[in-house]
């Protein structure tokens, strides 16, 4: 009887110590990949940026089915004009309108989601934008006195006051989601490796792990294209080396 009792206690203790370990392992596993909503952001941003509307439409449907609200997707499409220009952003918006019309005729009622609040009237856009950019760059103070800033100070002002203030202050998407959309767009466009390098780092500074950024490459590979994924992988590898 004592042997049976000892064996039972041994099994019980093993299970007690195993369950926390299993739970911890599952939690670690969860942060190794992007969730469904995050994965859906990537092709929406990519196909808006490169202008592939035929692929954008199913990506928009996938985004809605993954749990993105109508206003969250609209916000991604609006943000894209800062990286791909007004024409691509507007084309994406028109494509999204068509998708929503089609879904409504089928009786699908998509969640609108929260609206963006007004920009505070007393917002110091230069200061706010500089603080956001510094945080994304992993710096205590914003970058300054770079050659390009001295050569064309107007573009630096627009970056701080418009992109990192007017756009980033809107509450529909958080900074992490915005950076995910940004790297999705930049990875889909040729000649933007320098900007992609910065924004890979910015995405990780918002809390994305190395494994999640590698999963981003996998999403690119499957959803966008192998060429884009391979090009982005080279940039990410350089970023990971520099961060170590």
Q: Which domain holds residue 89?
A: 36-117+170-243
- Answer yes or no: is 99 within a domain: yes
Q: What is the tens place of the pLDDT at every residue in 115-128?
A: 988 888 899 999 99
Q: How far apart are CA 143 and CA 140, in angstroms?
A: 9
Among 155, 234, 168, 166, smallest CA distance to 200 is for 234
- pTM comes to 0.85
Residues 46-94 have pLDDT tens digits of 999 999 999 999 999 999 999 999 999 999 999 999 999 999 999 999 9
Domain count, the chain: 1
Residue 80 lies in a domain: yes
Contact 70, 99 (CB under 8 A): no
Note whether residue 227 is domain-resident. Answer: yes
In a domain, 60, yes or no: yes
Q: CATH number, domain at 213?
A: 1.20.1290.10
């Amino acid at each position: 009887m004592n042997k049976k009792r000892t064996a039972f206690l041994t099994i019980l203790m093993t299970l007690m110590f195993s369950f926390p370990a299993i739970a911890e392992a599952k939690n670690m596993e969860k942060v190794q990949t992007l969730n469904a909503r995050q994965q859906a952001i990537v092709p929406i941003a990519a196909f808006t940026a490169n202008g592939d509307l035929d692929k954008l439409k199913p990506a928009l449907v996938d985004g809605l089915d993954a749990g993105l609200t109508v206003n969250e997707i609209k916000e991604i499409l609006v943000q894209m004009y800062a990286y791909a220009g007004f024409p691509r952003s507007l084309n994406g918006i028109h494509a999204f309108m068509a998708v929503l019309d089609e879904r409504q005729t089928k009786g699908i009622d998509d969640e609108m989601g929260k609206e963006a609040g007004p920009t505070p009237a007393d917002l110091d856009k230069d200061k706010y934008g500089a603080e956001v950019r510094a945080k994304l760059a992993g710096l205590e103070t914003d970058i300054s006195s770079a050659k390009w800033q001295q050569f064309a100070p107007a573009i630096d002002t627009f970056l701080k006051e418009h992109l990192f203030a007017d756009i980033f202050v809107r509450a529909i998407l958080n900074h992490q989601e915005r950076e995910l959309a940004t790297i999705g767009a930049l990875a889909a466009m040729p000649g933007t490796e320098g900007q992609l390098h910065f924004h890979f780092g910015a995405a990780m500074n918002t809390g994305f792990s190395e494994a999640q950024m590698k999963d981003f490459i996998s999403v690119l590979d499957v959803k966008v294209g192998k060429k884009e994924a391979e090009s982005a992988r080279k940039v990410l590898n350089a970023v990971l080396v520099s961060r170590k």
